[in-house]
């Protein structure tokens, strides 16, 4: 039996999700798209999981769409109804995902990475949207999201030249959270995930909703959204636990309720 196209592993409250088609540079086919959607379902449905790391097996994070599938006229196989391309890039979710790039993230690979909440990349990694070189378009988020994330001029250069950029250049534009030497990428991503998981999970998710959900709102609406989230949070047990643990000089015991 062939190995699954996507693997999952639990590390305490962190789910490690691995794209597992190294022989195809982790190119997205139907099995990978469905497997990634299933992995996000696991993350979202399990109350004991508070964050995820998304990485790739082998030397490449993801080379994008499987062009054999595209050439066969089966483009729709690369999408799911809820997640869009790769079962991920348009997926609504509550819990944070960190992309850990141990290898290049090209075309749809970049689109998967930028759909994550944070990116940790190896110093040798390149990212790009080379679709124009094959008379294709980066419709999985490259063209739609990169102008907002790195600015219109930088996004235009990436799209129109089709040349990948080193991770350091994109880090200078705010796209990448941390750059480390390649052997340390997963460990650094785990450290980052663990630093998220020590915090109150409901407050983490509420903070994410305000930032992600408020990106297209005006300033007044973002302020209102933050107030709404605080009102919801105030009804939870963890909202009481935070101040209580401070007064009692002990580590908080978060219940996620």
Domain count, the chain: 2
- Are 228 and 146 in a shared domain? no
Domain residues for 222? 201-247
Claim to verify: residue 127 and residue 87 sit in the same structural domain: yes
Residue 252 belongs to a domain:
no
Question: Does residue 169 sit within a domain?
Answer: yes
Shared domain for 110 and 132, answered yes or no, is yes
Domain containing 71 — which CATH number?
Answer: 3.90.226.10
In a domain, 232, yes or no: yes
Q: What is the pLDDT of residue 2?
A: 81
- Do 142 and 230 lie in one domain? The reply is no
Looking at the structure, do residues 10 and 101 belong to the same domain, yes or no?
A: yes
Are residues 133 and 228 located together in one domain of the fold? no
**What is the rounded distance in angstroms from the CA atom of residue 140 to the CA atom of residue 65?**
10
- Residue 97 included in any domain: yes
Which of 181, 197, 213 delimits the end of a domain? 197
Q: What residues act catalytically?
A: 111, 131
255 within some domain: no
pLDDT of amino acid 73: 86
Same domain for 153 and 239, yes or no, is no
Same domain (yes/no): 101, 187: yes
Q: Does 254 reside within a domain?
A: no
CATH number at residue 209: 1.10.12
Q: Are 11 and 51 contained in the same domain?
A: yes
From first to last of its 257 residues, the chain has per-residue pLDDT tens of 789 999 999 999 999 999 999 999 999 999 999 999 999 999 999 999 999 999 999 999 999 999 888 888 888 999 999 999 999 999 999 999 999 999 999 999 999 999 999 999 999 999 999 999 989 899 999 999 999 999 999 999 999 999 999 999 999 999 999 999 999 999 999 999 999 999 999 999 999 999 999 999 999 999 999 999 999 999 999 999 999 999 999 999 999 99
Alpha-carbon distance of 186 to 88, in angstroms, equals 20
Q: Are 184 and 238 in a shared domain?
A: no
Q: pLDDT at position 75, please? A: 84
CB 159 within 8 A of CB 143: yes
| 121 and 168 Cβ atoms separated by less than 8 Å | no
- Based on the fold, state whether residues 32 and 83 are members of the same structural domain: yes
> Does 117 lie in the same domain as 236?
no
Query: Of 49, 44, 56, 142, nearest to 94 (Cα)?
Result: 44
Name the β-bridge partners of 179: 121
């Amino acid at each position: 039996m062939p190995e699954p196209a996507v693997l999952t592993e639990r590390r305490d409250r962190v789910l490690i999700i691995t794209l597992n088609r190294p022989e195809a540079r982790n190119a997205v086919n139907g099995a990978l798209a469905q497997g990634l959607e299933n992995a996000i379902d696991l993350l979202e449905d399990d109350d004991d999981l508070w964050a995820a790391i998304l990485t790739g097996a082998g030397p490449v994070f993801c080379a994008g769409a499987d062009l054999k599938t595209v050439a066969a006229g089966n483009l729709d196989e690369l999408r799911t109804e809820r997640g869009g391309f790769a079962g991920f890039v348009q997926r609504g979710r509550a819990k944070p995902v960190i992309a850990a790039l141990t290898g290049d993230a090209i075309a749809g690979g970049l689109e998967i990475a930028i759909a994550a909440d944070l990116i940790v990349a190896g110093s040798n990694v390149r990212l790009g949207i080379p679709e124009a070189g094959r008379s294709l378009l980066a419709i999985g988020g490259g063209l739609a999201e990169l102008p907002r994330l790195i600015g219109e001029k930088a996004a235009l250069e990436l799209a129109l030249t089709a040349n990948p950029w080193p991770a350091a250049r994109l880090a200078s534009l705010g796209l990448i959270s941390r750059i480390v030497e390649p052997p340390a990428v997963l460990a650094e991503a785990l450290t980052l995930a663990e630093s998220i998981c020590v915090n109150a999970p409901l407050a983490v998710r509420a903070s994410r909703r305000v930032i992600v959900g408020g990106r297209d709102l005006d300033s007044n609406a973002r302020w209102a959204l933050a107030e709404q989230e605080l009102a919801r949070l105030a009804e939870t047990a963890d909202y009481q636990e935070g101040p209580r643990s401070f007064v009692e000089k002990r580590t908080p015991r978060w219940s996620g309720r």
